[in-house]
Homo-oligomer: A and B are copies of this chain.
Amino acid sequence: MEDQKSTSHEKKLGQNGIVQPLLTDLYQITMAYAYWKSCKCDDIAVFDLYFRKNPFQGEFTIFAGLEECIKFLDKFSYSQSDLHYLKQILPSIEEEFFNFLGSLTAKDITIYAIEEGSVVFPRIPLIRVEGPLIVAQLLETTFLNLVNYASLMATNAARYRMAAGNLTLLEFGLRRAQGPDGGLSASKYAYIGGFDATSNVLAGKLFNIPVKGTHGHAYITAFTNLSDLKTVELQHKDESESKDLLELAKRWRTELAPIFKVLVAEISDGELVAFISFAIAFPHQFIALVDTYDVIKSGLPNFCAVALALNDLGYQACGVRIDSGDLAYLSIVSRKYFTEISDKYDLPWFKDLMIMASNDINEETILSLNDQDHKIDCFGIGTHLVTCQKQPALGCVYKLVELNSKARIKLSQDVSKVTIPGKKEVYRLYGESGHSLVDLLQKGDESPPEPGKKVLCRHPFEESKRAFVTPSKVEKLYKVYWKNGEICKPIRNMQEIRERVKRSMKTLRSDIKRNLNPTPYKVSVSDKLYSFLHDLWLQNAPIGELS
């Protein structure tokens, strides 16, 4: 959480009230019971949480959701009401198990994890959970739920940020998000991934994210003619005199009409009046939605007229929003008119008026607009961002890799689904340029790679894919986040995680980050882990008999 204030807000509102032990699949409870029944209460397990494939046809992922997992552990406990409900739906289970369940906490769990906001890759466990088998098993679904969407969303946002360069990105997705909390999570992780602000007021309040907004088409259509305006006076910014903003704007409109090659009669009066009323309400932050009737024949002339009228009273307008049509073309035309007016009336700031675009924009739209030399300063992005339309789920899994100090492997006819067994450490090796070269998984008991020393990095499954790497820098990726019932590292606020995303993205070579045919980042295992994995695989794979 951002700070004390929003933490208490959040608690009061119960936003995370639903992140509780029952937010899980029933089979976790039935498995817990069967383990308990099999006297496996003292078994100690290691689970890895990881994904197998980067989303969005990309080659990187941003890890997010860790903070929520740690907060979940901190209050992990079944309430009497939970136990009562479980007894109802599992009537064959004996009372004693529910007493056991009621006594469980996360105090014997240890969480090793990569820092939230880091760039991460397939197969590298993001979180390693160690502790009693039953408790560790019971965390699976909730952890996956908390990490999957958060990481997907943060990754999506980071991709939009790359496409948009330094332009302003606003998240406008609440109305299309997957439910109320889907909307809040989207706002939160869009901000972490690199967006500048959200339209979601509650997200602003809860997470201290900047909130932005203008007006919608309904506002424009709520005015039809000049008589709809009951207030027309606006006081000068620095002086005491007030003037009739409508009269000023009408005069400007008449003057500007020839520039826009339009007859004054063609320009919507309702729209002008709507703009005037909005300008009176927000003279310092006047932004106009210009596509309700016709951007070039009505929206732009009306906006410029009001902006120049505001200028007469000492205010600088902010800009326009375009929500339909050919965004590249309309932005170029808008900029041309702004420049023409800027030159004609010697108003240098006029040519830099903000142009915001916001119609069903996705990553590819931005890249295509870039190719068309658009003149947009700011994108408002909704549906595609928050629903991650291009790929609406990240497939994180949670796999048992060790039990009672013995490594476990899960085989599959699909090689990509074979697990890498045992407790592992992960190192990120950097080259001289500062870019990361490879992530290296090692067995827990191996000594870490050292800067300047050659290390053999092997593909986990393809025998012939090997490379020596001499790192300039070695980063140990795991830190302990939870141990002995305590949070071990201060929970980072969103701003810090957002900065981590920025820094982490910079360490990735651009060919790995690009939209089209990116280069896969190398994820390797040490020679020792390679042998260990393949020996265990052979031991566990049954030998068939051809017949």
Stretch at the interface among A291-299, A459-467, A482-490, A500-508: A291-299
A538 neighbours in B (Cβ, 8 Å): none
Q: Are A266 and B215 closer than 8 Å at their CB atoms?
A: no
A389 located at the interface, meaning its Cβ lies under 8 Å from any Cβ of chain B in the complex: yes
Q: Is the CB of A33 within 8 A of B281?
A: yes
> Of residues 209 to 232 in A, which have CB atoms within 8 Å of B's CB atoms?
211-219, 221-222, 224, 229-231
Closest to A229 in B: B38
Instruction: List 12 A–B pairs whose Cβ atoms lie within 8 Å, in order of A's numbering.
Output: A25-B172, A31-B218, A38-B231, A38-B280, A82-B205, A145-B183, A178-B182, A181-B181, A217-B399, A224-B406, A261-B547, A387-B392
Q: Which residues of B contact A415 (CB under 8 A)?
A: none
Q: Does any Cβ of B come within 8 Å of A18's Cβ?
A: yes
Distance to closest chain B CB from A44 (angstroms)? 11
A178 touches B178 (CB 8 A): yes
Interface 1/0s, chain A 12-30, versus B by CB < 8 A?
0111111110111111111
Q: Which residue of B lies closest to A210 (CB)?
A: B89
What residues on B are CB-neighbors of A543 within 8 Å? 266
Cβ A141 vs Cβ B174 within 8 A: yes
Give Cα distance in the complex from A47 to B216, angstroms.
13
Chain A: residues with Cβ within 8 Å of the partner, total of 127
Contact status of A148 and B172, CB under 8 A, knowing A13-B17, A403-B222: no
Q: Would you call A202 and B277 a contact (CB within 8 A)?
A: no
* Residues 190-208 of A contacting B (Cβ, < 8 Å): 199-202, 204-205
Is there an interface contact between A30 and B214, defined as CB atoms closer than 8 Å?
A: yes
CB of A175 closer than 8 Å to a CB of B: yes
A523 adjacent to chain B (CB < 8 Å): no
Q: Which residues of A contact B (CB under 8 A)?
A: 9, 13-20, 22-31, 33-35, 37-40, 43, 45, 47, 81-82, 85-86, 89, 92, 133, 137, 140-141, 144-146, 148-150, 172, 174-186, 199-202, 204-205, 211-219, 221-222, 224, 229-231, 261, 263, 265-268, 277-278, 280-282, 284-285, 292-294, 297-298, 324-325, 383, 387-389, 392-396, 398-400, 403, 406, 408-414, 417, 542-545, 547
Q: Which residues of B contact A186 (CB under 8 A)?
A: 178
CA distance A18 to B186 in the complex (A): 14
* Residues in B neighbouring A47, C-beta threshold 8 A: 218
Pair B392/A213 contact, Cβ less than 8 Å: no
A200-B25 in contact (CB<8A): yes
A213 touching B26 by the CB < 8 A rule?
Answer: yes
Q: Is B201 touching A22 in the complex (CB atoms < 8 A)?
A: yes
Are B297 and A544 in touch, CB under 8 angstroms?
yes
- Ranked nearest first, the 8 interchain pairs of A and B with the lowest CB-CB distance are A14-B14, A181-B181, A26-B213, A27-B213, A387-B392, A144-B175, A34-B281, A14-B17
Determine if A393 and B383 form an interchain contact, defined as CB atoms under 8 angstroms apart.
Answer: yes
Cβ-defined contact, B145 with A175, below 8 A: yes
| Contact in complex: A542, B268 (CB < 8 Å) | yes
- Residues of B near A175 (CB, < 8 A) are 25, 140-141, 144-145, 148, 396
**Neighbouring B residues of A204 by C-beta, 8 Å:** 26, 85, 89
Q: A199 contacts B25, CB within 8 Å?
A: yes
Contact A38 B230 (CB under 8 A): yes
A56 to B183, CA, bound (A): 22
Q: Report how far A26 CA is from B171 CA in the complex, Å.
A: 11
In the assembled complex, how far is the CB of residue A356 from the closest CB belonging to chain B, in whole angstroms?
Answer: 12
Stoichiometry, as copies per complex, reads: 2
The reply to whether A215 and B277 contact each other, CB–CB distance below 8 Å, is no
A23–B422 alpha-carbon span in the complex (Å): 45
Question: Closest CB of chain B to A93's CB: distance in Å?
Answer: 8
> Smallest distance from the beta carbon of A508 to chain B beta carbons, Å?
26
Take A34-B215, A178-B185 as given contacts and tell me if A23 and B281 are in contact as well, using a CB distance cutoff of 8 Å: no
Q: In the docked arrangement, what's the CA distance between A202 and B221, Å?
A: 44
Complex: A178 Cα to B149 Cα, angstroms: 5
Residue contact A35 to B176, C-beta cutoff 8 Å: no
Are B27's CB and A216's CB within 8 A?
yes
**Chain B neighbourhood of A325, CB < 8 A:** 413
Chain B residues near A184 (CB-CB < 8 A)? 18, 23, 179
Interchain CA distance A25-B382 in the complex, whole Å: 11
Contact present for A34 and B278 (CB under 8 Å): yes
Please indicate the chain B residues that have their CB under 8 angstroms from the CB of A45 in the complex: 222
Task: Kindly report which residue of chain B lies nearest to residue A36, judged by CB atoms.
Answer: B281
Give CA–CA (A542, B185) in the complex, Å: 43
Residues of B within 8 A of A406 (CB): 224
- Residues of chain B within 8 A of A92, CB atoms compared: 282, 284-285
User: A410 and B181: CB pair below 8 A?
Assistant: no
Q: Known interface pairs A205-B85, A218-B399, A222-B40. Does A212 touch B393 (Cβ–Cβ under 8 Å)?
A: no
Q: How far is the CB of A138 from chain B (nearest CB, A)?
A: 11
A273 to B547: give the CA distance in the assembly, Å. Answer: 28
Q: Say whether A412 contacts B324, CB under 8 Å.
A: yes
A177 touches B20 (CB 8 A): no
The answer to whether B180 and A9 have CB atoms under 8 Å apart is: no
Are A410 and B149 closer than 8 Å at their CB atoms? no
